[in-house]
Structure 1
Amino acid sequence: MKKNIVMLLSLMMLVSIFTGCQSKGPNKLVIAARGGSHVTAMEAVKASFEKENNVKVEIIGLESADLKKKISLDSKNKAGAYDLIMADDPWMPEFSEAGIFANLSKLGIKGDDDFEESSLKLGKNPYATGDLYALPFSGNVQMFFYNKKLLDSHQYEPPKSWEDVLKIANEIHTADGKAGYVIRGQQGNPIVSDFLPIFWAYGGQIFDGNWKSQVDTAAGEQALNTYIKLLASGTNYETTDIVSSVSEGRAAMALGWPSWFIKGGNASADFSPIPSKASSTAAPTSTGMIGNWMMGVTSNSHNPELAAKFLTFITSSETQKAMVEHGGVPTRKSVYLDSELAAKYKHFPVQLKALQNSVARPRTAKWSRVEEALGAELSAAIAGTKSVKDALSQANTAINKIMQ
């Protein structure tokens, strides 16, 4: 009897252990991501990684401001809720300074030569030269969009200089009564992002080598005067109206991000790299603002090695090619240059060229505050409540105060 009881108890223990093993689910990785097409693209390709690594990948899509806030708060916890995070590239200096990202170099990840160089630099700390902390996930970059029918009617090719942009804008506005050029002049990030490519074309830089503001300079005055003249030939719209007006021929030209005008292989307006010169006789310079979304492993990830493995998978050329069909934006040269993809996505060669001639916003953790200060003064100048000189002078003072 006693022997039977012992055997029964042993059998029950084995069943319990077996049941426990059976009920134990796979490992889990949690990604905090920018919501929208980024999440859609990852969801479409993650299954093969999950199966091969016996892991469940949970992707939480958030709006930009909420994403940054949640990442910052979670970074203070010893055991983080997220294993991987996405970050808009201007956040990189702030996140690096706060120690939010794990050092990818120490996790065995190296950025290979197939990554577009300007994109890969964004994930290094110090910028461009230091260790790798994030890989470029989405290769967004500003481009120049125009209504081909309007330009053709006046026998113009896409402009190569801002002098040409202004000339075309004035002619179309005068002759056709349409907006020659549309600015995105809302205070803060919109107007700063819209203005900087013109400022860079005139040879301007926000800071000198000692982080002193260089906004109140000849380049700043020339660029802002040009910006105000462009507005006089057109109008000031928010994103949705910029896209519809250029696409429908109510406006001729504007700056924008590819995701505004291009869905899949279909573009609602024609496109080219942003004009690289102030005038036809000026020296060309890089002018397109880069705006990649980066991805890295959190310093407080519960499984950093597996997270690093997923990061390698999701940014590989093979996976990037697959994600293109679901709204993914490549960061690898081989994907942009793939003949089949380039035949379907006509903007790929142009976007790669724009990335290769792009400019990163200043690599400072204080950029968001600088952007607010500069945006306020630019808005005052285009509204006419301050002169160009006064707006730039006061922007200079405000930026230097922030940097101190």
Structure 2
Amino acid sequence: MGIVSKTLRTASLTVVAALAITAAPIALAQELAPVNIVINQSPWLDGFAKITARYQEETGNKVMLDVNPYAGSMEKQRNAVRAAQSEYDILIVNGIFYPEMYQGGFLEPLTTIDPDFKLDPQIYTFDDTLWYDSKTKTVNKDTGDLLTIPVNPNITMMFYRKDLYEEHGLTVPQTWDELLANAKVLNDPPNMVGMVQRAARGTISVTWDYWPYLNSYGGSLFRDETNGDYTVTLNSPEALQALNMYLKIANEVGPENPASMDQAALIQYLVTGKAAHAILPVAAQSQMDDPNKSAVVDKIGYMNLPHAPGFESAPAIGHWLAGIPKNITQENKVAALAFLNWFQKPETQIEYAKLGGSPVSAAAYEGAFAELPENRYMPVMRDALPTARRMWTVPEGAEIVSVTEVALNRAVAGEITPVEALNSMAADIKKIMTDAGYKTGSLPDLTE
């Protein structure tokens, strides 16, 4: 469609031009500075591009996108906030690595730009990751400043073969044990595996798939992150229960090479009809009913993730947040906030969904549009978003995930035991936190 990556202050393509929208502005209430946004290439980009184009159509104010691969976008953001003046007015920050921007003090509190600005009450807050307290250096809704607006709700969800559930008389599981039982019924290798889950090493791969297990068994990375207690608890008995279940599913109903499974492989297993279940980010649902990509059109259903008895489902948050850098002019800050304020409105969020985007407001998930068969993932999202859990809120996340990716992958491959994996991760993460100056500690080592 012609949206290209380039330096935005000299860019000649606007989103509207890229999408070939030629209609005259509906309402030119106030002429604002152009808004330049740096964003990652992703399955949800098309919907976001269309809604930004709609903003320009309605207001006459220009919006331009600089589209980059994931790593390239992060690098441009890091460079921009450290420059004398950022070339971008809005940064689309990943919901796993946003703490780097928060703790670095690079984002302007939204109420500093406009003291009257308020978050729309129907916007999901994603485990309160929109606020940051710079004094305590914690993500804290009660004491922190509002720094970002969510733009994509990329949480994990269970994709499953609803046609096979109907054929075999299976019911949607509530617990991991019930899921495993269903997966065993449908497991028929090599024609069909009961479940595929990510276990390959990546920027964040096996870690993201394990985290819902960890949280839904009552485990955690730190003892009390919100209140600044970073005692490492990743080697707790609860974490061991979670990892044992993760490995049980991998070994009993997974493919022959579970440690090599990445996100692309999971999607391929599903769309070719070779898997009965998979945990994937919700954005992957757009491929399931595409006849050019899928052999299982209309056969995939969606469910909230299971949990251990006595706990609640805990989908992992991998959302995307929009923040405004401090090092731009006030004129550009006002223009950026005007776009974010328009974006968060209920009517915009409903339109965002209709344009193929992934809305972040309850308004879009509670109307008739969400009940259409092609949007069957939306009622599940409505139930899942309130219990979705963040992963960590410290800028050392990149170091932490480099530890967890290796150890968890080795555990799935059978190179180390679950106990060895958890103890080694806890020790390495405690060192990371100690070296960074945090109040930290550790639990006693687990024993075999």
TM bin (shorter chain): 0.7 to 0.9
User: Deviation at 1:70?
Assistant: 0.7
Q: Say which of 74, 84, 89 aligns to 1:83.
A: 89
Any stretches of 5+ residues in structure 2 without a counterpart? Answer: 1-30, 134-138, 291-297, 435-448
Report whether the alignment pairs 1:299 with 2:318.
no
Residue in 1 aligned with 2:231? 212
Which moves more between the two structures, 74-83 or 284-293? 284-293
Report whether the alignment pairs 1:371 with 2:395.
no
Q: State the Cα deviation string for residues 362-382 of structure 1 (Å, max 9, x = none).
A: 211111211110121111111
* Distance (Å, rounded) in 1 between the aligned partners of 2:409 and 2:74: 26
The 3 A distance-change label for structure 1 pair 250 and 41 is closer
Residue identity in the other structure for 2:234: V
* Structure of greater Rg: 1
Q: State the Cα deviation string for residues 151-180 of structure 1 (Å, max 9, x = none).
A: 334321121111112222233336986311
Residue in 2 aligned with 1:393? 423
Residue identity in the other structure for 2:182: I
1:134-153 correspondence to structure 2 within 5 Å: 134-153=148-167
* Distance (Å, rounded) in 1 between the aligned partners of 2:32 and 2:315: 44
* Distance (Å, rounded) in 2 between the aligned partners of 1:264 and 1:294: 26
* Distance (Å, rounded) in 1 between the aligned partners of 2:104 and 2:239: 32
User: Deviation at 1:228?
Assistant: 1.4
* Distance (Å, rounded) in 2 between the aligned partners of 1:47 and 1:205: 41
The percentage of aligned residue pairs carrying the same residue is 22
The 3 A distance-change label for structure 1 pair 214 and 46 is closer
Q: Say which of 143, 155, 158 aligns to 2:172.
A: 158
The 8 Å contact of residues 51 and 355 in structure 2, kept in 1 or not, is answered as no
Q: State the Cα deviation string for residues 163-214 of structure 1 (Å, max 9, x = none).
A: 1122222333369863111121012411001111112222111111221221
The 3 A distance-change label for structure 1 pair 123 and 177 is same
Q: Say which of 224, 248, 256 aligns to 2:280.
A: 256
Q: Say which of 368, 377, 386 aligns to 1:339.
A: 368
Q: Say which of 311, 321, 332 aligns to 1:284.
A: 311
* Distance (Å, rounded) in 1 between the aligned partners of 2:357 and 2:206: 27
1:2-401 correspondence to structure 2 within 5 Å: 27-47=33-53, 49-50=55-56, 55-108=61-114, 109-118=117-126, 121-126=128-133, 127=139, 128-129=141-142, 130-173=144-187, 178-188=192-202, 189-209=204-224, 210-232=229-251, 233-235=253-255, 236=258, 237-263=261-287, 269-275=300-306, 277-278=307-308, 282-302=309-329, 303-343=332-372, 345-401=375-431
Residue aligned with 1:31, SS: strand
* Distance (Å, rounded) in 2 between the aligned partners of 1:47 and 1:40: 11
* Distance (Å, rounded) in 1 between the aligned partners of 2:233 and 2:327: 39
The 8 Å contact of residues 247 and 268 in structure 1, kept in 2 or not, is answered as no
Q: State the Cα deviation string for residues 343-372 of structure 1 (Å, max 9, x = none).
A: 252221111111112111121111121111
User: Deviation at 1:53?
Assistant: 5.5
The 3 A distance-change label for structure 1 pair 201 and 43 is closer
User: Deviation at 1:76?
Assistant: 1.1
* Distance (Å, rounded) in 2 between the aligned partners of 1:390 and 1:246: 32
Q: State the Cα deviation string for residues 231-272 of structure 1 (Å, max 9, x = none).
A: 112123322331232344322111111211335987662111
The 8 Å contact of residues 181 and 252 in structure 1, kept in 2 or not, is answered as yes
Q: State the Cα deviation string for residues 3-32 of structure 1 (Å, max 9, x = none).
A: xxxxxxxxxxxxxxxxxxxxxx98422111
Taking structure 2 as the reference length, the TM-score comes to: 0.78
* Distance (Å, rounded) in 2 between the aligned partners of 1:145 and 1:387: 29
Which moves more between the two structures, 133-142 or 170-179? 170-179
Taking structure 1 as the reference length, the TM-score comes to: 0.86
The 8 Å contact of residues 193 and 254 in structure 2, kept in 1 or not, is answered as yes
Q: State the Cα deviation string for residues 65-85 of structure 1 (Å, max 9, x = none).
A: 111111011111122100111
* Distance (Å, rounded) in 2 between the aligned partners of 1:355 and 1:346: 15
RMSD across aligned C-alpha pairs, in angstroms?
Answer: 2.4
The count of corresponding residues between Structure 1 and Structure 2 is 375
Which moves more between the two structures, 129-138 or 171-180? 171-180
